[in-house]
Amino acid sequence: MSVFNNTQITCPACGAAVTFELVHSVNAVRRPDLRAAILDRSFQRQPCPTCGTAFRVDPQFTYLDVARKQFFAVWPASNLVQWRDYETRSQASYDKAFGPGTDGAALAGDLLARCVFGWLGLNEKIIAAEHKIDDVELEMAKLATLRTLGDLKLGADREFRLVGATDDELSVGWLRTSTEEIDDEYSVPRQLLKDIHSEPEKWAALRADVSGGMFVDYRRLLFGKA
Ligand SMILES: [Zn+2]
Q: Which DSSP string do the residues of 120-158 spell out, in sequence order?
A: HHHHHHHHHHHTT--HHHHHHHHHHHHHHHT-----TTE
| CA 16 / ligand 1 centre spacing (Å) | 5
- The per-residue pLDDT for 120 is 97
Q: How far apart are the first and last CA of the chain?
A: 37
Residue-wise pLDDT tens digits, 177-194: 999 999 989 999 999 999
- The per-residue pLDDT for 225 is 60
The parts of the chain modelled with pLDDT lower than 70 are 151-154, 224-226
| CA 48 / ligand 1 centre spacing (Å) | 5
| CA 205 / ligand 1 centre spacing (Å) | 48
R_g (Cα) of the chain, nearest Å = 18
Pairing, β 54-56 against β 3-10: unpaired
Strand partners, 173: 161, 185
Ion ligand 1: protein residues whose beta carbon lies under 5 Å: 11, 13-14, 16, 48, 50-51
Q: How far apart are CA 151 and CA 3, in angstroms?
A: 40
| CA 42 / ligand 1 centre spacing (Å) | 18
- The per-residue pLDDT for 49 is 94
| CA 131 / ligand 1 centre spacing (Å) | 38
Q: What is the pTM of this model?
A: 0.94
- The per-residue pLDDT for 91 is 96
- The per-residue pLDDT for 103 is 86
Per DSSP, the three-state class of 205 is: helix
- The per-residue pLDDT for 108 is 78
Q: How far apart are CA 145 and CA 116, in angstroms?
A: 21
| CA 8 / ligand 1 centre spacing (Å) | 13
Beta strand residue intervals within the chain, DSSP E: 3-10, 17-27, 45-47, 54-56, 61-65, 70-75, 112-117, 158-165, 169-176, 182-189
| CA 12 / ligand 1 centre spacing (Å) | 7
